[in-house]
Amino acid sequence: MLDLAHLRDRNRMVDVQIARRGVRDRHVLDAMRRVPREAFVEPGFEEFAYEDGPLPIGEGQTISQPYIVALMIEASEVKPGDNVLEVGAGSGYAAAVMSQIADRVYTIERHPSLGNFARQRFKKLGYDNIELRVGDGTRGWPEAAPFDAIPVAAGGPEVPPALKEQLAIGGRLVIPVGEEERYQTLIKLTRKSDTQFEEENLGAVAFVPLIG
């Protein structure tokens, strides 16, 4: 049964927290209206699902605030027909949103328990164009490459070379980079050729550390 209260909250989240703060990509806004964020939070946190803040999901990890999810997907320029790799599946929410836009989403999570819960959510909600692997996200997913977009939901001191290698020509890699935990710069790399990447600074962010 459709929960009208959650649907109302979801539309308000998109209008107030995301569109009003500058996210303009129609694909992103529409996708976030369709995905039930309350299904991706820990039991007991459903009433907070549409507030503008991160929430705990276990293993010391969080589901990012809705605005950050939207910002990452818009910056990655995820489009219909795209082949996408996400590093850091977490609860599975961002992958679910991207699955409503892209042709195929591959997502990697290093915590087995989080990966299992995310898989269960995808199956329950009928998101059948997402594939999840438990492992080291810094190595990417070579068999499914090249990727048109690679959003990375964890910060590290540098861009993992394997992720750059697995980016298609014209592909976009968005990753928080910084030496300090929970204080990074969001970097966007666009692959111009086999050896050339264009770099753009998208501002300061705070993400969990990228382990690998």
> What are the residue numbers of the active site?
64
Looking at the DSSP bridge assignments, the partners of residue 200 are 188
Looking at the DSSP bridge assignments, the partners of residue 109 are 134
User: Cα–Cα distance between 65 and 8 in angstroms, integer?
Assistant: 18
Residue 109 and residue 57 in contact, taking contact as beta carbons nearer than 8 Å: no
**Which residues, other chains included, contact 113 with Cβ-Cβ below 8 Å and sequence gap of 6+?**
58, 59
User: Cα–Cα distance between 44 and 90 in angstroms, integer?
Assistant: 18
